[in-house]
Amino acid sequence: MKRITRLFALILCLTMCLATFSGCPGGGGNKQDVELDDKGNVRPSDTVSKVEFWINGDEYELEVFSDLVERFNNKYKDSIKVELKQKPSDGYETAVQTALSGNKLDVFYVGDAGYKSYAEQGLLYDITDLVASSEVYDLSTMWSDVVIRYKYDVNTKLSGTSSGRYYGVPKDIGPTVIYYNETEFEKAGIKIISVDAADLDAYNAGAKDDRGNTKADMGLEGVTVKEYGYFVVNGQKYFNNQIPMSWDETVEVATILQNSMSNANAYGYFTEWWFNYGWTVGGDCIQFVPSSDANHNGGWYDFTLADSTPNYIVADDVPSVTVNGNTYKAGQIISYQDKLGLNSTSAAGAEYSKEITSEVLGLVNEGKLNELPSQREAFTEFVRLAAKTNTVVDRVNGVALYGYGVTPTPSSIGSDAGKTQAFAQGEIGMLVDGRWDVTYFRDPDSGINFTWDVCPLPMYRAYDAEGFGPEREVTVHGIEAGHSGSVGLCISNNSVVKNAAWKFIEFVGSEEGQAAQAAKGFAIPLQKELANSEVFLQTDKMPRNSKIFIDAAEIQGAGDWWYLTDNAWIDDWAGILNGDVRNGKKTMTEFFESSAFMNTYQKLLEYTKKK
């Protein structure tokens, strides 16, 4: 009789598990989802939904999100409980992929590099309707350049279109800026002023800069201060931490620092990213070519990292021009498609004209368009930073271009931790990196014993005079540009507590959740208004010039890892670039002629091919 009773009980338990996926081991454990009303609020319930949340990252990330989970659990203690699990950064994606085959993992990080692939595999829950009904999560108040990364159409493979869906939303945005060692600037005899371009007229008329100093205080009487990142007056060097340096100014300041720093092995500058060099003149590593080829979805991608055609920008005094049927305003760069007159090529992969159209050249002759460097020239400028001064980086019309030697090579800097430690130890004078460094640099255990601040990324400018004097006038300029990193918060499509999981994501993205992250110095808030408040700016702490992060967030986009579904088109040539090329073992020409580089063209054709 006891055996029959036990057997009946087992059958009953199995039946209930299959019917409800709750109450018995397996099939989602003891998970039961909350119900939401039409406004996205949690309806009262007798049970508590358990949400498993995976993160990766360092001790600072863990501290921030442990605090957020505690806040959330206290707020929803009667209905939802989030359990945080920190996973090692190495192998995180593999662990997530494995966990997603079941339904134990609910909320997790997806970097913008892998987001499209996860969505196309059907691993992410479509949260578009939950976002729309939320009363606390308002995408319209957030940085559009980061929000658009998570609106994706898995059918057309296009981002930001009206047909796109949200399979995740950003947990943060990490704009890149230059961190600089202010103590070393002062030792090198460089005085620092802090004046935004919009405030230069007032400053020249006697107003104080953002540090409370007038021109007289800085020894600039009788000098008209112009839009320079760096300039010299009667032998005295000046640095404006709110104006982007030109390419030449960046190399000059880096060289001065490098020659004056107390550490004999120090470098003046470090950046591992070419984006702002290419984007400031309108270049890019791939460009979309419209095509009427029936085998492709509207066109194909060309590999334009080595594109040698000049770029063009509308002159500042010209209201607008029309090129290839499209209108451009003053200060806007003509697109690759329009400067070459590309409307539709006859077949994917076919050769097309790389000649600048007569329409564009006519506008140049009329003074309405100014010529900018090509993508290849911009990319070469980036590579020259790390190459030694006796290393030939490239040859142009038979003239050798040597390295600047102001940046450590990838082989010498090592990992991401290597560059931040090098800055903290006074081995790098200026470091290009994201907001995430702030918590580490503020930590007494980082070893920093100097004053530091931030300034904008370099921007292309050409002047009418050599040197760095205050009489220079800009003859042509590019645009401010750079990339920002972002990680999305997503819900597993197999989760059985999707509503509860969304409420946690909603909380992290709310003003309360974003303010908590900002308080730690960890991230710039998603909400623009919150970012412009003292919650983020924290002017009583380093960096004092935090507004530079806000300026950067307005104009920075995703890196090339986000462009397509995966990185197969990048992996081979990126290894050579960050290896032999930047370590000075291959010239640019050898790089561009390598099979790894040339094979990229064929790989790119596969991304838009109809299946």
DSSP-derived secondary structure for 401-419: EE----S--HHHH-SHHHH
Strand partners, 132: none
Most confident region among 132-136, 155-159, 313-317 by mean pLDDT: 313-317
Cα dist. 318→102, 174, 556 in Å? Answer: 59, 34, 25
Which amino acid would we find at residue 328? Y
Say which residue the tokens 């400053």 belong to. Answer: 203
pLDDT at 411: 84
482 in Cβ contact with 176 (< 8 Å): yes
Say which residue the tokens 């196309």 belong to. Answer: 120
Confidence at 2, pLDDT banded by 50, 70, 90: very low
pLDDT at 349: 65
Class of domain 30-173+486-531: alpha beta
pLDDT at 30: 55
- Cα 82 to chain center, whole Å? 29
The yes-or-no verdict on residue 27 having pLDDT over 80 is no
In the chain, what are the domain boundaries? 30-173+486-531, 277-378+567-605
Q: Average pLDDT over the chain, rounded to whole?
A: 92
pLDDT at 25: 35
- The more confidently predicted of residues 264 and 129 is 129
The structure's pTM equals: 0.92
Residue-wise pLDDT for 50-66, tens only, equals 999 999 988 888 999 99
Section 83-105 average pLDDT: 90
Beta strands 107-111 and 49-56 are: parallel
**476-512: b or e for each residue (b if 16 or more CB lie within 10 Å)?**
bbbbbbbbbbbbbbbbbbbbbbbbbbbbbbbbbbbbe
pLDDT at 489: 97
Could you give the percent of the chain with pLDDT greater than 90? Answer: 80
Tokens for 283, please give them.
């270049």
Q: How many CB atoms sit inside 10 A of residue 21's CB? A: 16
Which amino acid would we find at residue 294? A
Q: Give the range among 156-170, 199-213, 303-317 with minimum mean pLDDT.
A: 156-170
* Cα(43)–Cα(37) distance, integer angstroms: 6
